[in-house]
Amino acid sequence: MTANAQENPELDGYWKRSDAAVARAVGGDIFLAAPSEGSIHALNPMASAVWRVLEMPRTFREICTLFASAFPDEDPRQIGSDLSELLKTLEKNGLVGHVGPVTPHPDSE
Amino acid sequence: MAVRGSTGRERHSGTVDLALSAAGWSISFIGCPDVVTDLEAILHGWGLTRNAGGPPDAAIVKTDRGYGWESAKRSKPVLWDTRPPETTMNVISDVHDVLFDWYLADHPDLLCLHAGAVDFGPGLVCFPSVRKAGKSTLGVALASRGFCSYCDDVLPVEPHRLVGIAMGIAPLLRKPLPASLGEDLSAFIAKHAGPSNENRTYVCLGAEHAAPFGRRKPIQALVLLDRREAARASLEPIAKAEMMREVVMQNFGARSSPTLVLDSFAKLIETRNCFRMIFADVMEAADLLGEQFA
């Protein structure tokens, strides 16, 4: 997987939903309000899926692994690249944040 | 005697102070009585009174170079500083727009739905704005069929009760009007024609066909318009998510918190019937809507 945390330090650490973001599901789609930004966002299917997996904080690697499992026919490198771009966009809009970088556990590699 | 109002301008002969009593505002018009006459034609239920006294919220001045806007506290139309209007029609359409701004500034708790709205009796049916879908023309067509127009472009909404508020401003149609309108609707528009220029015309519906400024009514349904070159008029349920996207995209100007806007629109979409209407003939569409919602 290409867009990993080692290659892109901006992705390091645990990604989580912003505490300030407010989500509402309407007809199966997710809409987010970011009060600090004064904006409302309609999430596309991929962003909605990311929002759902971020019900608990996850590393970029974990998110990529989940998506690769869900879409086995897709190129994992493309999935990583798309997720990288998406997470940065969501972060820029105050919808997700990440804490870290977190020092990897010695047994995790 | 010269009198200074909140604009700081001395009162001159040729000045008309127009009170919009229902909103508690007043505007001074200096050297442009035709603008006052046209505003009186397009505003309905505003409690308009000439020269009622009191300091004006703004002053509009006609000069050799066009029109100027003076206002100490209230917002002014965008572009007046850099490109002031030169015609009466442009002035009244800019005043029309700024009245929305002032109203929303005075009522920051209200949502702002970019939509036309018509009262069918049980409640309002809203037509969220879709570019060139013909919501203004459809609203006039529905008025010609006896339904009450609430607005053709902007509907303030009480977020907790989901009640729409009429702004009492005449619909504004693009010109030239389509030849396909038919004789009855063309005659209706001609009968109620208001201020116009080569590009646009107001349709002054008056008390018989339009709700006055400030009247309130619950919203009963939302209909997304899909106008085509040729199609029988039809109504079909639309996915709630699609309507929500349209409504959220069209929300503007609201000073409410994004969370309140999101919650209110989510409640609106989830609790009201949502449709798409495909149509080509506007009167056929009006009749179908009447059958469905009246």
Confidence band of B78 (pLDDT split at 50, 70, 90): confident
- List CB contacts of B147: < 8 A, sequence separation 6 or more: B118, B119, B120, B121, B290, B294
Whether a cis peptide bond, with omega within 30° of 0, leads into A101 is: yes
The answer to whether position B173 is within a domain reads yes
For B197, the 3-state DSSP assignment is coil
Nearest to A5 by CA among A88, A72, A89, A96: A88
User: How many A/B residue pairs have CB atoms within 8 Å?
Assistant: 50
Q: Does residue B244 form part of some domain? A: yes
Whether residues B152 and B274 fall in one domain: yes
Query: B51 Cβ partners below 8 Å, 6+ apart?
Result: B16, B17
d(CA B28, CA B19): 9
Which pLDDT value is given to residue A16? 95
* Structural contact between residues B214 and B168, judged by C-beta atoms closer than 8 angstroms: yes
Q: Which helix (H) or strand (E) holds B156?
A: strand B154-158
- Report the distance separating Cα A103 and Cα B13, nearest Å: 79
Cβ-defined contact of A38 to B258 (cutoff 8 Å)? yes
B232 and B275 belong to one structural domain:
yes
Mean pLDDT of B149-160: 94
Which residues 3-22 of chain A have a CB within 8 Å of chain B? 22
Determine the pLDDT at residue B3: 39
Rounded Cα gap, residues B276 and B272, in angstroms: 13
Average pLDDT, chain A: 86
A40 near B CB under 8 A:
yes
Indicate whether B4 pLDDT > 50: no
Name the β-bridge partners of A42.
A31
**Both B184 and B133 in a single domain?**
yes
Same-domain check for residues B235 and B96: no
Domain identity same for B79 and B150: no
Return d(Cα B294, Cα B283) in angstroms, integer. 16
For B:228-247, CB contacts with A below 8 A are: 239-245
Shared-domain flag, residues B91 and B118: no
Cα separation, B158 vs B216, in Å, equals: 9
Is the pLDDT at B1 greater than 50, yes or no?
no
If you measure CA to CA, which chain A residue comes closest to B239? A27
Together in a domain, B31 and B136:
no
Find out whether the peptide bond into B108 is cis, omega within 30 degrees of 0. Answer: no
Q: ipTM of the assembly?
A: 0.78
Per-residue pLDDT at A7: 62
| B84/B160 same-domain check | no
- pLDDT, one tens digit per residue, over B15-65 is 999 999 999 999 999 999 999 999 999 999 999 999 887 789 999 999 888
CATH at residue B144? 3.40.50
User: Touching check for B8 and chain A: CB below 8 Å?
Assistant: no
Q: Work out the minimum CA distance from B249 to partner chain A, whole angstroms.
A: 9
The 8 Å CB, 24+ separation contacts for A19-24 are: A20/A94, A21/A94, A21/A95, A21/A96, A22/B258, A22/B259, A22/B262, A22/B263, A23/A51, A24/B262, A24/B263, A24/B266
Q: How many domains does chain B have?
A: 2
Final residue belonging to a domain, choices B54, B88, B105: B105
Q: Is residue B250 one of the residues assigned to a domain?
A: yes
Q: Are residues B96 and B175 in the same domain?
A: no
**CA distance to A76, B58, B84, B128, per residue, from B72 (Å):** 60, 7, 18, 34
Query: Is residue A91 within a helix (H) or strand (E), and if so which, with residue range?
Result: helix A76-92
Interface touch B245/A42, C-beta < 8 Å: yes
Confidence of residue B256 (pLDDT cuts 50, 70, 90): confident
Predicted local confidence at residue B289, as pLDDT: 98
Q: Which domain holds residue B119?
A: 111-293
| pTM for the whole structure | 0.87
Confidence of residue B129 (pLDDT cuts 50, 70, 90): confident
Q: How confident is the model at residue A2 (pLDDT cuts 50, 70, 90)?
A: very low
Q: If we measure between CA atoms, which residue out of B281, B283, B280 comes closest to residue B184? A: B283
A26/B241 Cβ within 8 A: yes
Residues of A in contact with B245 (CB under 8 A): 29, 42
Q: List chain A domain ranges.
A: 9-17+43-96
CB-CB under 8 Å, B258 with A34? yes
DSSP letters, B10-25, are BP-TTEEEEEETTTTE
